[in-house]
Amino acid sequence: MAILVLGGAGYIGSHTVYELIDAGKDVVIADNLETGHVEAVHPKAVFYEGDIRDRAFVDSVFDRETIEGVIHFAANSLVGESMTDPLKYYDNNLCGTKVLLESMVAHGIDKIVFSSTAATYGEPERVPILETDPTEPTNCYGETKLSMEKMFKWTGRAHGLRFVSLRYFNACGAHVSGKIGEAHSPESHLIPLILQVPGGQREHISIFGDDYDTKDGTCVRDYIHVTDLAQAHILAMDYLMQGGESSIFNLGNGVGFTVKEVIDTARVVTGHPIPAEVAPRRDGDPAQLIASSEKAKNILGWKPKHADLKHIIETAWNWHKTHPKGFVKEK
Ligand code: UDP
């Protein structure tokens, strides 16, 4: 019996596969390699290259492998792109999930752990954010993830499928082995962009707005290490295996850091002055996003082990300085 990881060649997917294999599980990966990297595929996992919108492909994986549960990361996830090309997000995220669920129902596979996002909440009315707080996404990416959660809910009611949706806050850091890490192209996330400065690929980091109503005027986010996220997927699958009912959990450290604090911490870690320049606000950025993860701690028994921001940035720096071009080999 194996766990099928859709999107297992991507950033959070590949880290989850590493944790599953360390925990002694059999893992099958399906990934279309549109944003994932074949180099991130764990050598002990069975790998299928294909797209979840392709019903014949998804059916063939379920026919050939004995799958006990699915962990679903296969989606587009760039906020800015989702605003300029929303139909791409409806096509991949929603149509892909529809095909996946049809195939799961046809094959009698009834457990799925889903990669969701804090972007389902939009501009929060309060922090820390609870799972029961209103969901009003301010971008199309968050909207499609929220719709995917609802697709699981209604499909579950009709066909007995159970799901866990994990709403991540700001995923960051890299595997402590230094073998895998974050490699987006183009990069849009704060920590890898900051580290491009000491990495010699960028002159300075832009701070998107310093006039927010926060302690230093810059946006506050809850940064959570990718390996801690990965662990939560394993706990969520165990929870479903033990008969747990469908549920939604936030995943964050419950502590907010401003953009300026993250830059200062990166200066300490790298020993580089990292020049920063204030730039206009980025469209759609809420001032503060901080998770309450009490539910995940109480019900799943989740305990983040890499919560310290300095340690998180150290793991990221260890990856980026040894892989300045991500998974592309240096010539
Ligand atoms: N940010 C920034 N400069 C950058 C990239 C990001 O100031 O070059 C800010 C962004 O406005 C947000 C925070 O850093 O407040 C985290 O952004 P990121 O894109 O990493 O994650 P998000 O919060 O959008 O999921």
Distance 81 CA to ligand 1 centre (A): 14
* Catalytic residue list contains 141: yes
Q: What is the mean pLDDT of residues 304-308?
A: 96
Q: Give the active site residue among 18, 89, 121, 141.
A: 141
State whether the beta carbon of 266 lies less than 6 angstroms from ligand 1. Answer: no
pLDDT tens for 217-266 read 999 999 999 999 999 999 999 999 999 999 999 999 999 999 999 999 99
Ligand 1: atom nearest CA of 170 is: 25
Q: Give the mean pLDDT of the chain.
A: 96
Ligand 1 neighbour 80 (Cβ under 6 A): no
pLDDT, tens digit (0-9, with 9 covering 90-100), for 204-230: 999 999 999 999 999 999 999 999 999
Ligand 1 pocket, 221 CB below 6 A? yes
Ligand 1 centre and the CA of 303: distance in Å?
25
Tens digits of residue pLDDT in 9-46: 999 999 999 999 999 999 999 999 999 999 999 999 99
Rounded Cα gap, residues 310 and 293, in angstroms: 21
Per-residue pLDDT for 112 more than 70? yes
Range 159-173 average pLDDT: 97
Helix boundaries (H) for the chain: 11-22, 55-64, 79-84, 86-89, 96-106, 140-159, 190-195, 226-241, 259-270, 294-295, 309-322
What is the token pair recorded at 322?
């040894």
Question: Does ligand 1 lie within 6 Å of residue 201's CB atom?
Answer: no
Whole-number Å distance between alpha carbons of 157 and 95? 19
pLDDT tens for 80-98 read 899 999 999 999 999 999 9
Which pTM value belongs to this model?
0.97
Residue 58: Cβ-neighbour burial (10 angstroms; 0-12, 13-18, 19+): buried
Percent of residues, the chain, with pLDDT higher than 70: 99
In this prediction, residue 331 carries a pLDDT of 44
